[in-house]
Amino acid sequence: MEHLSIAISSMWKRKLSVFLMMTQLVLSFWVMNHAFISMDVVHYQEKKLFAVMQMDKDTTLRLSFADVDDTEWFAERFSHLENFIKQTPGVQRYGSFDTTSITPENLPNQRAFLEQNKKQYAGTRLENAIENSKIVFLDKGIYSYAKFKIINGRPLGEADFTKKDGDVIPVLIGYNYRDVINLGDRFETIIHEKKIVYEVVGVLEQRSEWLSGNDYIADPVDNLDNFFLAPFFPIVRESEPMDVAVRMHNTFIQLDSAEMFNQVSAAILEKGRELGINPTLATVGDELQAYRENRKQVSNFSLFMGMFFLVISIIGIVSVTLSSIHARKHELGVRMVAGATKRDISMIILMELVWIVTVSAVSGVMLNYVTEAFEDSSVANIKLEMFAFPLYGKVMLVSILVILSSVFIPLLRIKKLQLRELVGGRD
Amino acid sequence: MAFIELDNVSKVFGQAEYATVALKQVTIRMDKGEFVSIMGPSGSGKSTLLNIMGCMDIPSEGEYRLNGTLIQKLNDRELSQIRNKTVSFVFQNFALMHNFSVYENVALPLFKRKMSLKEKKEKVDYYLHKLGIADLSDKNVSKLSGGQKQRVAIARAMTAEAELILADEPTGALDQKNGAQLMELLCQMNEEGKSIVVITHDEKIAGYTKRIINIVDGVITEDRKKER
Tens digit of pLDDT for each residue in A238-272? 767 777 777 777 889 999 999 999 999 999 999 98
Query: Which pLDDT score is estimated for A427?
Result: 38
Phi, psi of B100 (to 5 degrees): -110, 155
Q: Do A427 and B84 touch (CB under 8 A)?
A: no
pLDDT above 70 coverage of chain A, percent: 98
**Domain ranges, ordered by start, for chain A:** 2-49+289-422, 67-277
Question: What's the pLDDT band for A424 if we cut at 50, 70, 90?
Answer: low
pLDDT for A426 beyond 50: no
What is the torsional sign of CA A136, A142, A148, A154?
positive
Tens digit of pLDDT for each residue in A173-217? 999 999 999 999 999 998 888 899 999 999 999 999 999 888 888
- Chain B interface disruption, residue of A10, A420, A422, A426, most B CBs within 10 A: A420
Q: Are B46 and B169 in contact (CB under 8 A)?
A: no
CB atoms within 10 A of CB B60: 15
Q: Strands, E, within A205-283: which ranges?
A: 209-210, 222-223, 227-231, 251-255, 279-283
Q: Do B109 and A339 touch (CB under 8 A)?
A: yes
Q: Do B97 and A420 touch (CB under 8 A)?
A: no
- For every residue of B30-88, DSSP letters joined together read E-TT-EEEEE--TTSSHHHHHHHHTTSS--SEEEEEETTEEGGG--HHHHHHHHHHTEE
Q: Are A123 and A156 in contact (CB under 8 A)?
A: no
Tens digit of pLDDT for each residue in A23-42? 989 999 999 898 888 888 88
Question: What's the pLDDT band for B227 if we cut at 50, 70, 90?
Answer: low
Tens digit of pLDDT for each residue in A113-130? 999 999 999 888 888 899
Query: Which pLDDT score is estimated for A239?
Result: 66
Query: Which pLDDT score is estimated for A127?
Result: 86
Q: Do B93 and A425 touch (CB under 8 A)?
A: yes
Contacts of A425 in chain B (CB under 8 A): 92-93
Q: Do A9 and B93 touch (CB under 8 A)?
A: no
Question: What's the pLDDT band for A330 if we cut at 50, 70, 90?
Answer: confident
Question: What's the pLDDT band for B144 if we cut at 50, 70, 90?
Answer: very high
Burial of residue A291, with CB atoms counted within 10 A of its CB: 0-12 exposed, 13-18 middle, 19 or more buried = middle
Q: Do A339 and B97 touch (CB under 8 A)?
A: no
Question: What's the pLDDT band for A152 if we cut at 50, 70, 90?
Answer: very high
Q: From A330, which residue of chain B is nearest by alpha-carbon distance?
A: B97
Tens digit of pLDDT for each residue in A348-360? 999 999 999 999 9
CATH superfamily of B4-225: P-loop containing nucleotide triphosphate hydrolases (3.40.50.300)
Interval B82-108 mean pLDDT: 89
State ipTM.
Answer: 0.88
- Rounded to whole angstroms, how far apart are CA atoms A142 and A225? 20
Query: Which pLDDT score is estimated for A39?
Result: 84
Among the partner residues A330, A337, A342, nearest to B56 by beta-carbon distance:
A337
pLDDT for B139 beyond 50: yes
pLDDT for A77 beyond 90: no
Q: Does A415 touch chain B (CB under 8 A)?
A: no
